[in-house]
Amino acid sequence: MRRLVSITLAAILLATPVAAMAQAYPNKAIRLIVPFAAGAGTDVIARTVMQRAGEILGQPMLIENRAGAGGNIGAEAGAKAAADGYTITILSTIHAANQSFYRKLGYSMEGDFVPVVEIGVSPTLWVVRADLPVRTLQELAQLARSSAGKLTYGSGGASHPVELFKALTGSDIIVVPYKGVAAVMQDLVAGRVDMSVAGFLDTDAHIRSGKLRALATTNSERLSQLPDVPAMREFLPGYDFTLWYGIFVPRETPAAAIAALRSSVLRALESPEVIARLQALAIRPAKSSTEGFAARVQAEVARWADTVKKAKIELQD
């Protein structure tokens, strides 16, 4: 009997570290890397959805803004984080495009990350300063060709929309980099730059006040909020810059952590307060399956590789 008790106690003691490691996820705060500046559309969406997801998980969601290099600095940090479920990253269409826009990256969206869950799709608008003498995309393209190197585009993080426009229209537009969208909007309203592409959240008030003019949505279709504003592809059939967002984790992250994260985000997207906030931002929540989201990411990376090659877009360093 004594020998049996000793063996049992030994087994319990040996199992204790394993049991400690297998505590229910999560048992501490989760770090969410946002690869753009605080206050930008990505940041607002991340805070709206993921702070509620943290409440559902029962742990704080610590937002870390790691802006710079068109979203690549934050993405690289997320890719190199420990694969334990406690560092997650919000990535978007921009990062799928970055795989082909840059000559060299410190991360691979498909090789270093696992897609966890898609959050939603955001409308983005091509806007110009109110006194720019154009009212259509056709007129903008003509002006950009006739005034080569004189028109300016304010980029709050990624210049993909204008690079694609330039390649497809043969126009010459100077890209002016900014640290964030808020700074771009400030200079655009003041007339210090001529145009930009930004989210509905960043542009709606300026459009309604007449300080900016919307020429098109870069999404694949018109927006219900602005039905008279055409989609870019109505002028340029090969143009599509639909901006989606999703949560990613480093490869080798435990399946249990991925499942818990996905469940918490899906539940957050059903919360009345989150739904109301996303509706105000004109964000369309996503309900794709894990496999469906992974397929979308793969297809988007391939689409941008093909687009950059066919449009002969000059790669960035």
- Is there a single domain that holds both residue 136 and residue 57? no
Query: How many structural domains comprise the chain?
Result: 2
- Is there a single domain that holds both residue 248 and residue 281? yes
Name the least confident of 113-117, 133-137, 274-278, 280-284.
280-284
Q: What is the pLDDT of residues 280-297, one digit of tens each?
A: 888 989 878 889 999 999
CATH of the domain at 112: 3.40.190.150
- Is there a single domain that holds both residue 212 and residue 249? no
- Is there a single domain that holds both residue 117 and residue 261? yes
- Is 3 a member of any domain? no
- DSSP characters over 213-246: EEEEESSSS-BTTBTTSPBGGGT-TT----EEEE
Q: What is the pLDDT of residues 20-44, one digit of tens each?
A: 434 699 999 999 999 998 988 899 9
Is the entire prediction scored with pTM above 0.85? Answer: yes
- Is there a single domain that holds both residue 105 and residue 129? no
What domain range is 175 assigned to? 124-234
Instruction: Residue count of the chain, please give it.
Output: 317
- Is 208 a member of any domain? yes
| Among 58, 62, 102, 100, CA closest to 81 | 62
Radius of gyration of the chain (CA): 23
Instruction: Tell me how far apart the alpha carbons of residues 213 and 206 are, in angstroms, rounded to a whole number.
Output: 8
Give the mean pLDDT of the chain. Answer: 90
- Is 97 a member of any domain? yes
- Is there a single domain that holds both residue 60 and residue 143? no
pLDDT at 256: 97
- Is there a single domain that holds both residue 60 and residue 80? yes
- Is there a single domain that holds both residue 247 and residue 105? yes
Name the least confident of 15-24, 34-43, 256-265.
15-24
- Is there a single domain that holds both residue 57 and residue 110? yes
- Is there a single domain that holds both residue 87 and residue 59? yes
> Looking at 185, 214, 234, which one is the last position of a domain?
234
pLDDT at 288: 83
- Is 58 a member of any domain? yes
pLDDT at 281: 84
> Looking at 186, 207, 234, which one is the last position of a domain?
234
- Is 295 a member of any domain? yes
- Is 144 a member of any domain? yes
CATH of the domain at 201: 3.40.190.10
pLDDT at 148: 86
pLDDT at 225: 87
- Is 14 a member of any domain? no
The whole-angstrom distance between residue 145's C-alpha and the CA centroid of its chain comes to: 31
- Is there a single domain that holds both residue 137 and residue 166? yes
- Is there a single domain that holds both residue 130 and residue 209? yes
> Looking at 234, 262, 288, which one is the last position of a domain?
234
pLDDT at 20: 40
pLDDT at residue 58 tops 50: yes
